[in-house]
């Protein structure tokens, strides 16, 4: 008899047990030294019960602790005495499995040589290179979920990523450029993109070199073109978080109650598709629900939120399979999977048709306040645009704005897209994918140090 059978005998409305195991291998090269970084083996259990319309949840690292944990979580749920009862959407009783593991592992000698060749390539571009960090990471995530519906889901997905940080220094001025590449599977992803990664590493080194002498970005409100990665940050942070239905049902999202309304310019169509073969790929979420390709905004009209079992029941919608947890030790919450902005019909040079503006380069992170509908993002660098031409490099800055106003200020969406390996920290870290074009935005508030 499993712990879920025992939970059902105890009279719970719903229960699930997630046995989660994550192994992370890291190969690190810093400043010419191949540091074999280490390995993380993170394994444990997350048990959830729904009793009298209230959740009780607990975590344990040892299977033998589960019976006492069940007693604790049932007690925790019963003591809440909620007035508004929580319900969950049920899923079919079936046994399903998915396996997408690496063909080539991260930990081998050839990969150390590859990191050295990238570092050499960066040094060839700049005598100012003062610090290099190259981190190759392989993640194996295995998960078994058993629910009181009789549903059993087994999933194993491997991911590989490479992150490069390059620093250039002259006197007391230090500037940096950073980029991450990543995909599902193992080193075969990196191998398939080796040429592009090498070219882009050289470009990162050249840009870090130039930024040392660059002036600061201005403090101004102006028209801008956002790079692919910055567009990804904008769509993910400003829009994606606001359509996560947990913030909708708690009345904390600026997009609550706006299904069917125009929330962006007609050129904006956004989809979240965890089944796409991008970095955030999965077939089953961490509640055992099948992930669905979910159109979120179509031609500027809000069409759907992203759901967990609970939010789908609350809003009486089909579950979309967007509930995920970082480790066994985290409760699953509503997250984006692979965020896709459908490309438009503007070539890159057409996007630059601005008399006086800025090109905002790669993203340097961002933050959104979905309750107020505002966002702030950093850029690693900017470039002037004058009469439709890209001009000199400027040091990084931040941009800020209101979600709804900004999405109505999108003038054009580019044709070319790139795939992005990204992470998101909504209280817990999640690996996500993005497919993004560049966009042109009017009236962006730029907080640079220059005048």
Partner 1 sequence: MVEVHNILKYAEKSGAQEAEILTDHTRFTYARFESGEPQQTLVGDITEYAVRVRVDHALGFAYFTDNWQSAVKKALSLAEKGYQHESCPSFVTATPPTPLHLSDPSIGAVTLDVLISDLTDGTALIDDPRILAHTGSAHVAHSTAEIASTSGAHQVESSTLASARMACRAYETDYGIGAAHVHSLAYDIDIEGVCEKAQHDALAQLGKEPPHPGKKQVILSPRVCANLLVCAAVPSFLGHNVEEGRSALTCGDTVAAHHLQLTETPLTHGPQGRSFDDEGMPSQSVELISDGTVDAFLYDRYYGQSTGSGIRYGQYRGRTLKEPPLPCATSLFLRGSSSPLEEMISSVDDGLMVIDETNSHASKSQSGLFSIAVTSGFEIKKGEITGPVNRCMISGLAFEDFLPNVTCISTERELHRSFVYPTYVDTGYVLVDGLRITA
Query: 185-244: which residues touch partner 1 (CB under 8 A)?
Result: 216, 219-221
**Under the criterion CB under 8 A, does residue 315 sit at the interface with partner 1?**
no
| Segment 341 to 380, residues that bind partner 1, using CB under 8 A | 364-369, 371-378
- Considering the complex, state which of residue 3 and residue 283 has its C-beta at the smaller distance from partner 1: 3
Q: Is 110 in the site for partner 1 (CB under 8 A)?
A: no
| Residue 72 interacting with partner 1 (CB under 8 A) | yes
Contacting residue, 275, 402, 411, 428, with partner 1 by CB under 8 A: 402
Q: Are 162 and 26 in contact (CB under 8 A)?
A: no
For strand 14-30 and strand 129-147, is the pairing parallel, antiparallel, or unpaired? antiparallel
Binding to partner 1, residues 416-445 (CB under 8 A): 445
Report the nearest approach of partner 1 to the CB of residue 92 (Å): 26
* Shortest distance in whole angstroms from residue 150 CB to partner 1: 25
* 331 touches partner 1 by CB under 8 A: yes
Segment lying near partner 1 (by CB under 8 A), choices 24-32, 87-95, 274-282, 347-355: 24-32
Residue 387 burial (10 A CB sphere; 0-12, 13-18, 19+):
exposed
Size of interface with partner 1, in residues (CB under 8 A) = 82
Distance CA 234, CA 245 (A): 18
Q: Which residue has the tokens 């109505």?
A: 408
According to DSSP, the β-strands at 356-360 and 338-341 are unpaired
Among 5, 11, 31, 318, binds partner 1 (CB under 8 A): 31
332 forms part of the interface with partner 1 (CB under 8 A): no
The SS3 call for residue 334 is: strand
* 400 touching partner 1, by CB under 8 A: yes
Give SS3 for 115: helix
Single residue of 114, 167, 279, 393 touching partner 1 by CB under 8 A:
167
Please report whether residue 174 would count as binding partner 1 according to CB under 8 A. yes
Of the two residues 85 and 388, which places its CB atom closer to partner 1 in the complex?
Answer: 85
Among 6, 52, 57, 408, binds partner 1 (CB under 8 A): 57
CA 114 vs CA 103, 193, 197, 289: distances in Å: 17, 12, 11, 39
Take residue 75 and report the two structure tokens written for it: 């007690």
| Selected range binding partner 1 among 80-88, 152-160, 265-273, 352-360, rule: CB under 8 A | 80-88
Looking at the Cβ atoms of 69 and 297, the one nearer to partner 1 is: 69
For the chain, percent helix, then strand, then coil, each to nearest 5? Answer: 25, 45, 35
Find the DSSP H helices in 244-347.
245-249, 309-314
410 binds partner 1 (CB under 8 A): no
The interface with partner 1 within residues 124-153 (CB under 8 A) comprises 130-131
Which one, of 50, 46, 42, lies nearest residue 21 by Cα? 42
Q: Which residues does residue 49 pair with via DSSP β-bridges, in sequence order?
A: 15, 56
- Which listed residue (3, 6, 13, 30) binds partner 1 by CB under 8 A? 30
Q: Residue 249 is inside which H or E element, if any? A: helix 245-249
Rg (CA), the chain: 23
Site membership for partner 1, residue 448 (CB under 8 A):
yes
The residue written with tokens 């975590």 in the block is 59
Q: What count of residues does the chain have?
A: 451
Q: How far is the CB of 110 from partner 1 (least distance, A)?
A: 13
Instruction: Determine if 251 is a binding residue for partner 1 (CB under 8 A).
Output: yes
- Span 255-314, contacts to partner 1 by CB under 8 A: none
């Amino acid at each position: 008899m499993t712990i879920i059978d025992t939970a059902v005998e105890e009279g719970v409305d719903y229960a699930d047990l997630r046995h989660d195991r994550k192994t992370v291998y890291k190969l690190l090269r810093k400043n010419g030294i191949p540091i074999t970084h280490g390995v993380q083996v993170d394994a444990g259990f997350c048990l959830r019960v729904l009793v009298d319309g209230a959740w009780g949840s607990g975590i344990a690292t040892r299977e033998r602790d589960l019976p006492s944990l069940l007693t604790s979580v049932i007690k925790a749920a019963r003591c809440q005495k909620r007035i508004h009862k929580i319900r969950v959407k049920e899923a079919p009783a079936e046994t399903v499995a998915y396996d997408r593991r690496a063909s080539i592992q991260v930990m081998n000698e050839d990969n150390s040589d590859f990191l050295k060749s990238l570092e050499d390539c960066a040094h060839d571009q700049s005598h100012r290179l003062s610090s290099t960090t190259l981190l190759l990471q392989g993640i194996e995530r295995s998960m078994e979920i058993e629910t009181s519906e009789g549903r059993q889901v087994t999933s194993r997905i491997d991911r590989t990523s490479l992150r490069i940080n390059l620093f250039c220094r002259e006197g007391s001025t230090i500037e940096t450029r950073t980029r991450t590449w990543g995909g599902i599977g193992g080193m075969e992803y990196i191998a398939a993109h080796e040429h592009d990664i090498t070219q882009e590493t050289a470009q990162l080194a050249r840009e870090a070199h130039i930024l040392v002498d660059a002036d600061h970005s201005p403090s101004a409100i102006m028209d801008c073109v956002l790079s692919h990665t910055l567009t990804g940050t904008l769509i993910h942070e400003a829009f994606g978080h606001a359509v996560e239905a947990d913030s909708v049902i708690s009345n904390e999202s600026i997009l609550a109650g706006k299904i069917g309304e125009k929330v962006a310019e007609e050129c904006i169509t956004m989809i979240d598709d965890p089944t796409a073969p991008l970095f955030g790929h999965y077939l089953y979420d961490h509640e055992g629900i099948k992930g669905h390709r979910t159109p979120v905004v179509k031609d500027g009209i809000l069409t759907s939120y992203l759901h967990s079992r609970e939010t789908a029941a609350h809003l009486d919608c089909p579950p979309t399979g967007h509930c995920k947890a970082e480790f066994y030790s985290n409760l699953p919450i509503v997250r984006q999977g692979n965020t896709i902005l459908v490309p438009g019909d503007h070539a890159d040079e057409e996007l630059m048709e601005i008399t006086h503006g800025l090109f905002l380069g790669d993203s340097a992170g961002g933050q959104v306040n979905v309750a107020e509908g505002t966002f702030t993002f950093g850029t690693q660098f900017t470039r002037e645009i004058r009469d439709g031409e890209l001009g000199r490099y400027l040091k990084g800055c931040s941009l800020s704005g209101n979600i709804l106003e900004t999405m109505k200020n999108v003038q054009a969406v580019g044709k070319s897209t790139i795939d992005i390996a990204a992470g998101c920290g909504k209280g817990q870290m999640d690996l996500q994918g993005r497919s993004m074009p560049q966009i042109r935005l009017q009236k962006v508030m730029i907080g640079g140090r220059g005048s």
